[in-house]
Structure 1
Amino acid sequence: MRRIRLLVPGNIHHHSGGNAYNAKLVRGMTQLGADVEVVPVDGAWPEPSAKDRRRFGGLIGAWGPEAEQEPAVDIVDGLVAVGVPDELEYAAKAGRQAWVLAHMTVDATADPGPVKREARAMRAASGIISTSTSTAAILRERHGLAGIRVALPGVDPAPVASGSRPPHVIVVAAHLPNKDQLLTVEALALLKDLEWSAAMVGSDQADPAYAAEVRAAVASNGLDHRLRITGELLGDALERAWDAADLSLLVSRVEAFGMVVTESLARGIPVVVRQGTGAEEALGLAGLMNDGGGARLPGAAVPLVPGDRENPARLAGVLRRWLQDQAAKDEWRAAALAARDRLPGWDQTARTVLDAVEPGRATG
């Protein structure tokens, strides 16, 4: 098997779903016997400078054949790829094999420039591997692309969460406007008449200004003693935070998949997500069928339209029902516990990627 290089953005330092996926994918491919090298690519991705683009082009041999007799197979993180369509086109002409690992798509509501660059980058690639069905569907519809491989995130086995009394809600996400922690604060502020506690776990350095807004909202709503903002947690500290949880929230405005959902379910923790995002796929991935043939989800998908001022009340209504309706709480918990055995492992993800870039070789 040829050497595989995974080219990742060097400017993303906080813990993100993309970073976690990349790391777990490399581990899985290595365990299957692949020779994998991770190459952090310096640059202001996804808006690189001319110097950043030249550096990337040199890395993938865009300017001419490299000395090595059998070049590596390159897998380029989509955050990098959308900024370097020229270099990917030159690499293709030079006979280099460069796949794109698409975690998400660019924003099509803003300047059309990024969408055009995305189209060129994807078409220049040797192939596209998408980390979610929703991202693959958007790329197919937006650019008329075919043959996209979907390699859904896996999940590591984890112990069942102990939970807390009173019930404890956890939000695991970097503090970013898209993750909409402000919405969660406003919803919890409507539930001060009930017993609960909550924790927001995630980097407050990804967008310090937004993190400050979230802290100010917690204080202004008088929730300091009930809602704890921990910052980013790793290792045993993160595991303790998970163990204390009874319910997980991921109400991002845009979400390609939402690995936090399956990480929650691996611990038997039900999840509430925003309807219409890729997080629904993660929630439905482990959904069980009820007697009527419909999905019995370990949680709920809530319709939350950005800018709709009813959002906090709508989310609060779902949380209030969960807090007060013991039968509903028990059903969600039972479904989450049952879902643990249905979740795919990272070995499955790694096999899918290896079979795409080196057909028939993921047999370890």
Structure 2
Amino acid sequence: MSRPLRVAFVHPGDIGTPSGGYAYDRRMIAELSAAGLEIAALRLDGGFPVPTPAQVAAALETLAATAPGTVLLADGLALGALPAAGLAGIGRPLVALCHHPLALETGLDPQLAQQLWESERAALSVCDAIIAISPETWRMLRERYDVPAHRMTLAVPGTEPAARVPADAEPPRLVAVGSLTPRKGYDVLLDALALLDDLAFSLAIVGTPDLDPATAARIARRVAAWPRDNIRLLGRLDAAALERAYAQADIMVHPALYEGYGMVLAEAIRRGLPVVCTTGGAAGETVPDGAGLKVPPGDAPALAAALRRLITDRELRRSLADGAFAAGQALPSWADTAATIRRVLERVAA
């Protein structure tokens, strides 16, 4: 019997980090292992995506220490910060997994954004294959990083089977899910909700405050000073508590300025939650027409207007909930996603 394909899933820092990208990584390790691959997480320590020279050298040594023939499946958060010459010299098949281009992160200094673009573009050029997790990321890699289409494969995140939620309470209960970071747009959301002080509703915000403490502290201060008691910060929730948060919601609101995909949006429509989101990045594609209302990113008055429509129009909520649930049933499973990635790994190994 031939030996199972050996894969090292390369990631920066703690694989348990509470973000959509790391959740995708964890699930792919589990699914690919269940499918018969010999796969293990390979952690790179350091200040990614801006490691020091010593951390870069240590990361390259870690990659080079893998067994010959091991396929390196590298999360773009680490890969894009490593030098192309060093990656090319490792002598292992190399596959990039790109959630979100590094240079497009919200709030970056222009000089740093240019540095990350140059580094990521060079690193991608020495990969044997590139996996994009959304059509938006695919387009960005084609248009901004000059990656040929034939070198890329699309592997959209999967979703778990989930029961439909009622989504019919009055007054409506809003839920927002995402880490408290600038790109998630919570300041814009609070600005929008300030324009709705004549309406009855509540909002639960689910998301870790650990990734950007300064942003999290600012949001916490704003919520603490809110003139009404209808907004709660729930922090990071485990799977069971998150499931309860979805079940107790009537509207998903997602004010992100940019999304590489938006896994929480897929989770919401899978459960039949009508959505108000932005068109930032892939979010407008992840939520199809008929499943929600979409507004330009960063536009608080437009977000407020869309929320006002959905909060005050119960029939519209029901119609969009029906559309969301129907669209959610067509989403791929995690096994589908893993099968796509497995084919890429087997191809480069051969």
Alignment TM-score, normalising by the size of structure 1: 0.87
In 2, the alpha carbon distance for the partners of 1:320 and 1:18 equals 31
Counterpart position of 1:118: 120
Identify which of 78, 81, 86 aligns with 1:80. 78
Identify which of 303, 321, 330 aligns with 1:315. 303
Equivalences for 1:134-213 in 2 at 5 Å? Answer: 134-146=136-148, 147-163=151-167, 164-213=169-218
In 2, the alpha carbon distance for the partners of 1:94 and 1:231 equals 41
State the one-letter code of the partner of 2:79.
A
TM-superposed deviation, 1:12: 7.1
Does the C-alpha gap of structure 1 residues 360 and 127 become closer, same or farther in structure 2, counting only changes over 3 Å? closer
1:106-130 Cα shifts (integer Å, max 9, x gaps): 2268222211111110001111111
- Give yes or no for contact 1:131–1:151 (8 Å, CA) kept in 2: yes
1:109-163 Cα shifts (integer Å, max 9, x gaps): 8222211111110001111111111112111112321121111111111222234
In 1, the alpha carbon distance for the partners of 2:274 and 2:264 equals 11
Correspondence 1:35 to 2:33: no
State the one-letter code of the partner of 1:303.
P
Counterpart position of 1:46: 49
- Give yes or no for contact 1:43–1:49 (8 Å, CA) kept in 2: yes
Unaligned runs of 5+ in 2: none
Counterpart position of 2:294: 301
1:65-99 Cα shifts (integer Å, max 9, x gaps): x694x42101111010111124xx33434531111
TM-superposed deviation, 1:55: 1.6
TM-superposed deviation, 1:13: 5.8
- Give yes or no for contact 1:257–1:280 (8 Å, CA) kept in 2: no
Equivalences for 1:1-364 in 2 at 5 Å? Answer: 1-10=4-13, 14-61=17-64, 68=67, 70-86=68-84, 89-107=85-103, 110-111=110-111, 112-146=114-148, 147-163=151-167, 164-223=169-228, 225-284=229-288, 296-304=289-297, 306=298, 311-359=299-347
TM-superposed deviation, 1:31: 2.2
State the one-letter code of the partner of 1:267.
R
Unaligned runs of 5+ in 1: 285-295
In 1, the alpha carbon distance for the partners of 2:328 and 2:16 equals 30
TM-superposed deviation, 1:23: 0.9
In 1, the alpha carbon distance for the partners of 2:10 and 2:66 equals 20
TM-superposed deviation, 1:189: 2.0
Counterpart position of 1:288: none
SS at 2:11 equivalent: strand
Alignment TM-score, normalising by the size of structure 2: 0.91
In 2, the alpha carbon distance for the partners of 1:126 and 1:19 equals 22
SS at 1:359 equivalent: helix
SS at 1:249 equivalent: strand
Does the C-alpha gap of structure 1 residues 91 and 176 become closer, same or farther in structure 2, counting only changes over 3 Å? closer
In 1, the alpha carbon distance for the partners of 2:322 and 2:177 equals 22
SS at 2:102 equivalent: coil
In 2, the alpha carbon distance for the partners of 1:347 and 1:127 equals 20
**Paired residues, number:** 337
1:162-221 Cα shifts (integer Å, max 9, x gaps): 344321100001111111111111212222222211100001122222112112222333
In 2, the alpha carbon distance for the partners of 1:93 and 1:221 equals 55
In 2, the alpha carbon distance for the partners of 1:39 and 1:14 equals 14
Moved more, 93-102 or 238-247: 93-102
Does the C-alpha gap of structure 1 residues 269 and 200 become closer, same or farther in structure 2, counting only changes over 3 Å? same
Please identify runs of 4+ aligned residues in structure 1 that moved more than 4 A.
none
In 1, the alpha carbon distance for the partners of 2:173 and 2:184 equals 19
Does the C-alpha gap of structure 1 residues 183 and 67 become closer, same or farther in structure 2, counting only changes over 3 Å? closer
Does the C-alpha gap of structure 1 residues 237 and 136 become closer, same or farther in structure 2, counting only changes over 3 Å? same
RMSD: 2.0
TM-superposed deviation, 1:222: 1.0
SS at 2:118 equivalent: helix
